[in-house]
Amino acid sequence: MRIAFIGHVCVDKNVVRGETETLHGGGVVHGGITAQRLGAQANVLTKCAEADRPFFRHLGEAGVETVFLPSPASTSIRNVYPSESPDDRQSSLISRAAPFTEADLDCLAAFQADVVHVNPLWFGEFPPDLLEILCKRVAFLAADAQGFLRVAERDGRMVHRDFAAKRAVLPLLDLFKVDSKEAFLLTGEEEPVRAAKTVHALGPKLVLLTHQGGVCVFDGQESYEAAFGSYTLEGRTGRGDTCTASFLVARGRGMNLQAAASFAAEITTRKMQYRGPFRG
């Protein structure tokens, strides 16, 4: 199975209990490395400043084939965790890499991926119009809500806003990944199963929803749930990206939806014991 991940890598400044730590991650790093270490062939299409590329060598060291497209700057985000809740996060954009363009999508042909997962960090990084182009080129298209709901204000503060084009864009997706806060913003529903069902009604074929207690999957007929085990706050970054990647790998192995949800919850729990990507 070959999975291509599209999105910016990120220079993360994570503040936990008042201590700041710099990590070189981003959704495509967590997703790509997780998929690769679970036995898939992972590819990453990303953008960052040339000076920052060596800091992301862990992608290549893990076996992930990566194409770095040029950008004057890299995306860098400051994440503050003010409490012990992993869902309580305050983010601000320090700098941003150049958005993706239609011409950039030509790089995907070389990957020959079975699945393409669009995993942006901020709204505008991957313009929604590109999804309509991409869905005609790939067999299975997935996307993460973060890059369509998380908007950077003028002062850099990152806030979540409803996605105005959701009813036009979400039907293009085979899988849509949301967390509980994103689902609430899209639907007004707080309870995970109801929220997943209401997100599904917006058009994606399959919804994968993560929340503090675990993961919920809804396919339009049945819901499937699995719980996370214990975790550390330091391991919170990358939770959703790890969950999506492991779920996609599980489905590629032929697991049914319940088994895939349980597998994703197990792998995500293991990853949330430590900082950085899944170690295998």
Give the CATH number for residue 194. 3.40.1190.20
pLDDT at residue 87 in the model: 64
Note every long-range contact of 127-131, with CB atoms under 8 Å and residues 24 or more positions apart, other chains counting: 127/99, 127/100, 128/163, 128/165, 128/169, 130/100, 130/101, 130/102, 130/105, 131/169, 131/172, 131/173
pTM: 0.95
How many domains are there within the chain?
1
Task: For residue 235, tell me if it sits in a domain.
Answer: yes
pLDDT at residue 86 in the model: 60
pLDDT at residue 236 in the model: 78
Per-residue pLDDT of the chain (280 residues; tens, 9 = 90+): 999 999 999 998 888 888 898 989 999 999 999 999 999 999 999 999 999 999 999 999 999 999 999 999 999 999 888 877 666 778 999 999 999 999 999 999 999 999 999 999 999 999 999 999 999 999 999 999 999 999 999 999 999 999 999 999 999 999 999 999 999 999 999 999 999 999 999 999 999 999 999 999 999 999 999 999 988 877 878 899 999 999 999 999 999 999 999 999 999 999 999 988 999 9
Task: For residue 276, tell me if it sits in a domain.
Answer: no
Task: For residue 12, tell me if it sits in a domain.
Answer: yes
Q: CB 266: neighbour CB atoms within 10 A?
A: 16
Task: For residue 278, tell me if it sits in a domain.
Answer: no
Give the structural domain span for 199: 2-271
Task: For residue 259, tell me if it sits in a domain.
Answer: yes
Task: For residue 279, tell me if it sits in a domain.
Answer: no
